[in-house]
Amino acid sequence: MNKPNIKAQRLAALFVLGGLLFNYPLLALFNRTGMVAGVPLLYVYVYAAWALLIGLLALVIERK
């Protein structure tokens, strides 16, 4: 396989991962009354998942 094809497949996989992370079943798991450092658990999860996706996208795009 050539490099652009692998990069496209990885980006597609990250798109699917993002769809799974921000879909109902996982969001419902974190929709609790708990707090993490004074921030609701759901907000912590959403921002952590968002940061994870951005980091993984940077790795895929910048990788040679």
Report the distance separating Cα 54 and Cα 49, nearest Å.
Answer: 9
Q: Can you give the residue range of the structural domain that contains 33?
A: 10-62
What pLDDT score does 64 carry?
Answer: 76
Is 21 part of a structural domain of the chain? Answer: yes
Give the pLDDT confidence score for residue 1 in this predicted structure.
59
Q: How many domains does the chain have?
A: 1
pTM reported for the whole predicted model = 0.86
Q: State what percent of residues in the chain have pLDDT above 90.
A: 89
Give the Cα separation of 43 and 26 in Å (integer): 13
In a domain, 4, yes or no: no
SS3 3: helix
